[in-house]
Amino acid sequence: MPEPTSKSPLVSTESLGLRLASPRLRVLDGSWYLPSSGRDPYAEFLAGHVPNARFFDLDEISDRSTPLPHMLPPAAQFAAQASALGIDHDSEIVVYDGSGVNLSAARVWWTFRAFGHREVAVLDGGFGKWQREGRPIERGLPPPAVAGNFRAWLDPSVVRDLGAIRRNLRSHRELVVDMRSSGRFTGAEPEPRPGIRAGHIPGSVNLPYTDLVTEDGTLVPPELLRAKLAAAGIDLTRPVIATCGSGTSACALVLALEVLGHHRHAVYDGSWTEWGGREDTPVETESPPRP
C-alpha cells in the first residue's frame, strides 16, 4: 500500500487556475460514462477542456486482454501510454471529469497511485465547477505531446481480485463497500450491462458514490463525510474494499477515505461486472441490516 501523504488528494479550481503555467503540471480529462448514458467523453473534450489538458481514455489505457471493462493494464503498457500523454516521472498531475459527481476522475487518480505516482490529485468540483466559474477553456485537439519518461510499477496491495473477494467471504477481514446506486445494490434496478445478474456481494454495504459530493460537485465536508460513511455501516477502524459496477466509481470512496486519513483500502478491480457476470459466485438481493 502506498505510504500515507499529508498532501491533499484534492485541488481546488482556484489553485489549479493559478498553476496552469507550471512546467511540471499535467492536466488530464479522465471523463468516462456508462454506454447507456448517450454521452461521448472524447467529443465533449474536443468541445471544451481545461487549457493544456490531455484526454485520458479509460477504456484504451486498460488491460485489453480481458473482456472486463477498463481493468488495470500491465505496468509497462501504462508507463508507455502515460509517457505518450507527456507525463514524466516527476509530473504534478491534476485529473478531472465532466460528470459533476467524480464518476471517473478518481479512477484515473487511483490508477496513477496504484502505479507508484504520488503527485496526483483530483480537481474538486470537476469541469462543471471550472466552467461555472468562467475559467478559461480550450477547444479542439491539443498539439501533439512531447513524450514523457513516466515509470510505473504496480502496488498489488491496493488491488483485490476475484480470489481475494472469495476468501474475504469466509474471513470477513475487510469490509466490502459497494458504490453503485441503492437500486442496483438491492437488485431492484437492472444492470446497465447485458448478462450481469442483479444484487450485491454477500455481506457488503452500500453507499452510492453520488452521495459523496455536494450540489456543486465538490466533496462533502469531512465531518459530514464521516457521518455519511457511519450511516452506511462503514467502520473506519476496518480495512475497506471498494467496489462498484466496473471499478470506476469505487475509487470515489478511496478518494474520500484518503481525505479522512483512512489509508487501509483497496479496489476490487473486476467489481460487479466480474462478480455478477459469473454463475459460480453468491449474490444477495436485499440490503443487510445496519449494525
Residues 242 and 223 in one domain: yes
Cα 110 to chain centroid distance, Å, stands at: 6
DSSP string, 243-266: E-SSSSTHHHHHHHHHHTT---EE
Looking at residue 35, its pLDDT comes to 80
In a domain, 289, yes or no: no
Single-letter amino acid, residue 200: H
Which pTM value belongs to this model? 0.95
Q: How many CB atoms lie within 10 A of CB 111?
A: 28
In a domain, 226, yes or no: yes
Looking at residue 290, its pLDDT comes to 56
Active-site amino acid positions = 244
- What is the Cα–Cα distance from 241 to 177, expressed in whole angstroms? 6
Single-letter amino acid, residue 279: E
- What is the Cα–Cα distance from 145 to 54, expressed in whole angstroms? 9
Residues 15 and 135 in one domain: yes
Please give the backbone phi and psi of residue 159, each rounded to the nearest 5 degrees, phi first: -125, 140
Report the CATH number that the domain containing residue 79 is assigned in CATH. 3.40.250.10
Mean pLDDT by 10 residues, the chain (291 residues): 65 98 97 92 98 97 96 98 98 97 96 98 98 98 95 98 98 98 95 94 97 97 97 97 98 98 98 98 79 47
- What is the Cα–Cα distance from 251 to 249, expressed in whole angstroms? 5
Residues 124 and 182 in one domain: no
> Which domain, by its residues, includes 249?
157-275
